Amino acid sequence: MESGMIGRVKLLQTEDDLIRAVAMVANFSRGREIGGWFINFPGVDEDFEDFPEFFDPRIVKEFYHEVAIVAMEEWLHILQKMTDSPLAGQVDKEADITEYLDNQGIYLSADFLTRYAARFRWCVHKHPERIEELRQFAQKYGRVV
């Protein structure tokens, strides 16, 4: 076994791995603290392409996108609080951030959109073509929408 490989486990190979990892980041993110210690998974900042048994490069790319969205979401909550007003005109804070990100042309995954019921409701109203995708994802991962 190579140096640095001791204790390494399968990290980011499947969609299930991705959902689990992003959930940990989101669950430990509050305000200015973005669950940052998960961003530095062992091996992710190394040449993960050299370890296909641990990392799928497509999943790692999606992971970084999702972590970036979590970080933006937390900072946007701070901005909402500082300005004491919505960013995109929505009363619900989660729907407001969702609309703000959507207005910026940022791709919002089913994972992000089903993490809170308000986001799901916003998406169903704004993008009804995604309802079946979101429902299937929610059912698969036990989300209440």
Tens of each residue's pLDDT in the chain, 145 residues:
343 443 444 578 889 989 988 888 888 776 655 544 444 444 445 556 666 677 787 888 898 899 889 989 988 999 999 999 999 999 999 999 999 999 999 999 999 999 999 999 999 999 999 999 999 999 999 997 7
| Global confidence as pTM | 0.79
* Look-up of token digits 């399968």: 10
Give the pLDDT score at 42.
46
pLDDT confidence of residue 86: 97
Rg for the chain (alpha carbons), in Å?
A: 17
pLDDT at position 4 is 42
pLDDT at 52 (0 to 100): 67
The pair phi, psi for residue 38, each rounded to 5°, is -80, -20
- Secondary structure E strands in 5-96: 29-30, 33-34
pLDDT at 43: 46
**What is the reported pLDDT for 137?**
97
- pLDDT for the residue 26: 84
Report residue 22: phi and psi, to 5°: -65, -35
At 20, the amino acid letter reads R
What pLDDT is attached to residue 6? Answer: 37
The residue with tokens 């919505």 is 86
